[in-house]
Chains A and B, each alone.
Chain A
Amino acid sequence: MNRRVVVTGVGAVSPCGPDVASTWAGVVEGRSGIRAITAFDTAEYASKIAGQCWDFQPETVIPKRDLRTMDRFIQLALVASDETMRGAGIAEDAPIKLRTGTLVGVGIGGLASIENMTRTLAEKGPNRITPYFIPSTISNLAPGQVSMRFGLRGPSFTHTSACSSGAHAIGEAFRAIVRGDMDACVAGGAEAAITPLGVAGFAAMRALSKRNDAPARASRPWDVDRDGFVIAEGAGLVFLEERDHAVKRGATIHAEIVGYGASADAYHLTQPAPEGEGAQRAMRAALADANLDASAIDYVNAHGTSTPTGDLLEVEGIRSVFGAHAAKGLWVSSTKSVTGHLLGAAGGLEAVLSVLALREGIAPGTINLDNPEPSLQGLDLVPHESRRRKLGYVLSNSFGFGGTNAVLVFAKA
C-alpha cells in the first residue's frame, strides 16, 4: 500500500505580503505586488519594475547578528520556514524531526552577495572578502539554514531548475516520502535576484516587461499587449507529511499531494518546444501518477509568465492534455499576473496558492487580462476576478529555462 502525503503547513513571503494570509488576500483580491524597483538605481535599465518583497522584515525572525551571514534568498526561505513550521505544529522534541527533510529549490542563489564581493575584490583585494561570502551565496544554504534552525535532520539539498526549482523540490520531496527516505519535509523554493546583474541579465534576453509607467498592469498573461514577465522575489514552502503520521497527531491537513510529473523539452535555451510538447508530457505524467483522468482537474494554476511565446505554448499544451474539458469546466489562471514571476520560488509559492485554492474553494483570477489572445477563445482564463466553487483537484505547472518542466497535482483534503 502506497504511503500518502499531505500538506500540514504552509509559509510564504511574496511581493503581496510577508506571510501566507497577506499573500493569499492580495492574490485573491487581485492587488498587484509590482512597483518601481527600489533595490537599486534603475536609471540605465530598460525594465525598472519588479515584485520586491516590500513588507519583508527579516529581523523579526532572524537574529540581527546572523543576517550578514546569509544572502536575501536564504533570509526569505528562513522566514517562510518559520511560518511553515509554526503552522505544522511539530513539537520541539518530536521524533519525526530526525526524518524530516529540507528541500528548498533555488534557481540562481546569492546573486547580490556575488555582485557585492566581486566589487570588493576589485576595489580592495582578496583579503577583504568576508568569510560569510560562500555560505551566504551557495544555494543549499537555504535548506541548510532551515534544517539548523529547526533541527530537521533528514536529507537536505537544493533542486535547481530555473523557474521550476520550487516545484521540482516539492515533487521530489513527495517522492522521497512515498519511498520512505523521509517521513516529512519542508519543501518549496526561494529566490532573490532583483539585483543589478539579475535584472540586466534577464533584460538582455528581452524577457522582461518594459511597462515601466504602469507597474501594476505590466504582468498580463495571455493579454494581447503583454510584453514579458516581471521579475519578483520571495519564498513559498509547504510542510509535507506522511498521512498516517499527520492523522495520528491530529494535525490540520490543508490538502493532499497526489501527483508529480517532470520532463525536459530537449529543444532550446529559452523557448518552449512547439505545442508545449514537454509540458504536455509532464502534465500527463502527473495525472497518471495521481491516477486521475484529466477531466477530474477543476483548476490549473498555470505557469503563465506573461511572455509572448511561452503563454501561448502552455495553453496549447493544456488544450492537448485536457481535450474537451479545457473548453468546458476547466478553470486556468495565472497568479503571476498579481505576484510577478518569483523565478526559483515560483513553483513553491504557487503550490501554496494551489493548496489554499483547494482549502478555501477559490480560484484566483488572472488580472490585467483585458484583451485575451483571440486564439485562446473558449478557454476559461478566470479574467480579472477570483471565483468561488468547490475544487476537488488542482494542477500546478512550472517550467524553466533550459526546457525543464515540473507539474504537481493536489487534492482537497
Chain B
Amino acid sequence: MKNVSTDRADILNRMKSVISEQLEADVASLTEKTSFVDDLGADSLAVVELVLAMEEAFGVAIPDDEAENLRTIGDAVDYVVAHAGSGGKAKAKAS
C-alpha cells in the first residue's frame, strides 16, 4: 500500500472492492448498509477471513472484540477512518 488515505469516499470504494473480491459480490450492489452476514451470506469463518483482508488492505489492526461490531460495510469504513495508521500493531503488510 503506497499511502494511507483517510478520505472516507476513497476508503468506501476500496472497502467495496475488498469485499467484492472476498465474498464474490458485485461491487455495484454494495452500499454502506450492506451486511456481511445477512446480505452477503458470510459465515463466521468468512467474516474472520474478511477482517484479515481489511487489515491487509488498510494497514489497520482490528482486534476480535472490535471485529464483532463490524456488521456492515459502513461499520467497517467508520472503523478504518477512525484507526487509519494503526497497522504496526497487527504487523499487517501491504500486498
Q: Do A and B bind each other?
A: yes
Which residues from chain A sit less than 8 Å from chain B, CB to CB? Answer: 63-65, 68-69, 124-125, 127-128, 130-132, 135
| Given A124-B93, A127-B90, A132-B23 contact (CB < 8 Å) | no
Inter-chain contact B24/A128, CB cutoff 8 Å: no
- In the complex, chain A residues whose CB is within 8 Å of the CB of B23: 65
Inter-chain contact B48/A64, CB cutoff 8 Å: no
Q: Is B91 an interface residue (CB 8 A)?
A: yes
* A260 vs chain B, min Cβ distance (A): 38
Q: Is B52 an interface residue (CB 8 A)?
A: yes
- In the complex, chain B residues whose CB is within 8 Å of the CB of A64: 24
Inter-chain contact A65/B52, CB cutoff 8 Å: no
Inter-chain contact B24/A131, CB cutoff 8 Å: no
| Given A124-B93, A125-B91, A130-B49 contact (CB < 8 Å) | yes
* Bound form: Cα–Cα A131–B23 in Å: 15
Interface residues of chain B: helix, strand, loop or mixed (majority)? helix
- In the complex, chain A residues whose CB is within 8 Å of the CB of B49: 68, 130-132
* A245 vs chain B, min Cβ distance (A): 35
* Bound form: Cα–Cα A135–B52 in Å: 17
Inter-chain contact B91/A63, CB cutoff 8 Å: no
| Given A63-B24, A65-B23, A131-B93 contact (CB < 8 Å) | no
Question: Pick the contact of B52 from A63, A69, A128 — CB < 8 Å?
Answer: A128
* A77 vs chain B, min Cβ distance (A): 20
| A-B CB contact pairs (8 Å), 11 listed | A64-B24, A65-B22, A124-B91, A127-B90, A128-B52, A130-B49, A130-B52, A131-B48, A131-B52, A132-B49, A135-B45
Further 10 A-B residue pairs, CB within 8 A, beyond A65-B23, A135-B45: A64-B24, A65-B24, A127-B90, A127-B91, A128-B52, A128-B91, A130-B52, A131-B45, A131-B48, A132-B45
Q: Nearest A residue to B61 by beta-carbon distance? A: A127
Q: How many residues of chain B are within 8 Å of chain A by beta carbon?
A: 11
Q: Nearest B residue to A125 by beta-carbon distance? A: B91
- In the complex, chain B residues whose CB is within 8 Å of the CB of A128: 52, 91-92
Count the A-B residue pairs with Cβ separation under 8 angstroms: how many? Answer: 24
- In the complex, chain B residues whose CB is within 8 Å of the CB of A125: 91
- In the complex, chain B residues whose CB is within 8 Å of the CB of A68: 49
**Most chain B CB atoms below 10 A, which of A65, A69, A124, A125:** A65
* Bound form: Cα–Cα A124–B45 in Å: 20
* B18 vs chain A, min Cβ distance (A): 14
Please encode chain B, from 1 to 33, with 1 for each CB lying within 8 Å of some chain A CB and 0 for all others. Answer: 000000000000000000000111000000000
* Bound form: Cα–Cα A125–B90 in Å: 9
* Bound form: Cα–Cα A65–B19 in Å: 11
* Bound form: Cα–Cα A132–B93 in Å: 20
* Bound form: Cα–Cα A2–B49 in Å: 50
* A265 vs chain B, min Cβ distance (A): 41
* Bound form: Cα–Cα A63–B25 in Å: 12
* B39 vs chain A, min Cβ distance (A): 14
* B88 vs chain A, min Cβ distance (A): 12
Q: Nearest B residue to A66 by beta-carbon distance? A: B24
- In the complex, chain B residues whose CB is within 8 Å of the CB of A65: 22-24
Nearest 10 CB-CB pairs, A to B? A65-B24, A131-B48, A131-B45, A64-B24, A125-B91, A131-B49, A130-B49, A124-B91, A65-B23, A132-B45
**Most chain B CB atoms below 10 A, which of A64, A125, A128, A131:** A131
Inter-chain contact A69/B91, CB cutoff 8 Å: no
Q: Nearest A residue to B64 by beta-carbon distance? A: A127
Q: Nearest A residue to B50 by beta-carbon distance? A: A131
* A209 vs chain B, min Cβ distance (A): 37
* B65 vs chain A, min Cβ distance (A): 14
- In the complex, chain A residues whose CB is within 8 Å of the CB of B92: 128
* A26 vs chain B, min Cβ distance (A): 33
* Bound form: Cα–Cα A178–B48 in Å: 44
- In the complex, chain A residues whose CB is within 8 Å of the CB of B22: 65
Q: Nearest B residue to A135 by beta-carbon distance? A: B45
Q: Nearest B residue to A64 by beta-carbon distance? A: B24
Please encode chain B, from 26 to 54, with 1 for each CB lying within 8 Å of some chain A CB and 0 for all others. Answer: 00000000000000000001001100100
- In the complex, chain A residues whose CB is within 8 Å of the CB of B91: 124-125, 127-128
